[in-house]
Amino acid sequence: MKTHLTELLSTAAKTIAPDLENISIVLERPKSAEHGDFATNLALVLAKPLKQNPRAIATQIIAVLPASEFIAKTEIAGAGFINFFLNAQSQQNVVRDILKAGAQFGRNNSGNQQKVQVEFVSANPTGPLHVGHGRGAAVGDCLCRLLNANGWDVTREFYYNDAGAQIDNLTISVQARANGISTDSPDFPENGYRGDYIVEIAQAFLNKETVTADDMQVTASGDVNDANAVRTFAVAYLRHEQDLDLKAFQIKFDVFSLESALYSQGKVEQTVQTLIKSGKTYEQDDALWLKTTDFGDDKDRVMRKSEGGYTYFVPDVAYHHEKWQRGFTRVINEQGADHHSTITRVRAGLQALNVGIPQGWPDYVLHQMVTVMRGGEEVKLSKRAGSYVTLRDLIEEVGCDATRYFLAARRSDSQLIFDIDLARAQTNDNPVYYIQYAHARICSVLSQWAGDHSSLQHADLSPLNNPHETALLQRLSAYPDVVTSAATELAPHTVANYLKDLASDLHSYYNEYKFLIEDETVKLARLSLICATQQVLKNGLDLLGVSAPTKM
């Protein structure tokens, strides 16, 4: 329908403005049904080049608009917006579309199977995943699902920072606990990790246990003085634990990459040498600098410190160069807001390589902090982790579905308050319960009917004409646009908001009307409508990685 209306408007625009080229035609769905099914600002766009009043142009557009069997009427609103009201039959057709397409409704091939890599979570293997990692996991996984629904060939990737000072701190922390040094002792490392999980790692190392994580299996030697053995075992132990957390959160990855491999395979050094040859580096104060100011940074950045080690953004440049070499013309990084300062440096380094990487590559989605509340008070730490709330804590408290929904349901760039009490509540105030209950309610009605669902595709839909039904039809027809825009804007929270509105429409309809009535024609029409609603609720929940229960 959107394509059809766009073609009609394009014809009208060429009629009243034949000399204008590349006229932008935008169609949006009004927030209120009172303003029609679609609206366009075309008259306002044409006002300046035609030097006429927008409302006068809107009148001309309507006058020359080709006839359409789907349009019931048009209206001019405000400064010159044109609102389109579709006739009942065209509105009702969405029910047949949904019942025919099933799980495929809302999906498209706009991505044309282009390769896109989404990197998310990417937690340092120094402790259990915290709620911030959980938000990154929820948002990142939803982005992958959305891109897949829009026809992209998606690769999910987890990058382990298994090198550097934090891993050194992990190693000496495990060694200290293995030697019986408590966190209260002055001999415990100042920057060491103090959570109970360090004790668990130390004990497992002393017991010479074997752990498996993705592509590695490590058996502890039990030699506490062998720092490399302790480091390797501790990293593998925590990678395995993070794997379990991600499994409990229903997150899967296609690729796991290691920072240490970038060094062992010489990719960091190769990247540095390429940057030197590009002429974008210089030596100063015994350090190697990158001219990031040539690419929009506020000051140049140190690449190699005076004592010889590379700064943290250098392996990031090498890693992203490797992504480009793997053929990913689009890359999206979902990370915490604390990574904001590295964006310019990484992009500058990639531009300085001069290997054809476009400006502004890769894309970034940054999420803000999560504050966990219970009983009106902030929950600040987990005994096992020592200094933060873990993702596993949330999953055990409220379940996977509620955790995923709450972590993905707000704009990622806004701070999030995770209210444990609300997430556990089985009331309409809990949005995920409200949405799932709408789905279960429909399943209950269809189960009581016990008819052949496939027969609903051929039901007479003409009785669907009361305000509640019209609202549902309009909401359902908007779903494909929601899926498209959510992927385009990298904004999975819009799907969560849509589902909440759809559930509200359904509950209002359910409370106002009966479905299993004697009038067979009206009954089948209403059952068709709620069956279509059930399908869209399920499709949308799947994009969020949330289940669609049939009973509650």
Residue found under tokens 């940074």? 297
- Average pLDDT value for residue range 487-507: 98
- What is the layout of strands, in order, in the sheet containing 416-419? 377-378, 370-374, 416-419
Q: Is 430 helix (H, G, I), strand (E, B) or coil?
A: coil
Residue (of 385, 357, 383, 381) closest to 371 by Cα position: 381
pLDDT for 31 beyond 90: no
pLDDT for 63 beyond 90: yes
- Average pLDDT value for residue range 367-391: 88
Q: Can you give the pTM of this predicted structure?
A: 0.91
Q: Is 520 exposed, middle or buried (0-12, 13-18, 19+ CB in 10 A)?
A: exposed
- pLDDT tens-digit readout, 171-195: 999 999 999 999 999 999 999 999 9
d(CA 519, CA 511): 19
Residue found under tokens 């609300």? 422
Instruction: Give percent of the chain with pLDDT exceeding 90.
Output: 91
User: What is the pLDDT confidence band of residue 380, given thresholds at 50, 70 and 90?
Assistant: confident
Q: Which residue has the higher pLDDT, 28 or 383?
A: 28
* CATH number 1.20.1250.20 is the correct assignment for the domain at 103-110+428-543: no
pLDDT for 341 beyond 90: no
Mean pLDDT (the chain) is 95
Which CATH code is given to the segment(s) 2-86? Answer: 3.30.1360.70
Cα dist from 301 to 140, 161, 268, 321, 525, whole Å: 29, 21, 16, 18, 66
**Cα dihedral value 227, 230, 235, 236, nearest 10:** 140
pLDDT for 382 beyond 80: no
Answer yes or no: are the C-beta atoms of 526 and 421 closer than 8 Å.
no
Task: Domain ranges for the chain, please list them.
Answer: 2-86, 103-110+428-543, 165-248
User: What is the pLDDT confidence band of residue 215, given thresholds at 50, 70 and 90?
Assistant: confident
Which conformational region is residue 104 in: left (phi greater than 0), alpha (psi within -120 to 50 degrees), or beta? alpha
DSSP output for 261-320:
HHHHTTHHHHHHHHHHHTT-EEEETTEEEE-GGGGT-SS-EEEE-TTSPBPTHHHHHHHH
- Average pLDDT value for residue range 501-517: 97
d(CA 475, CA 304): 56
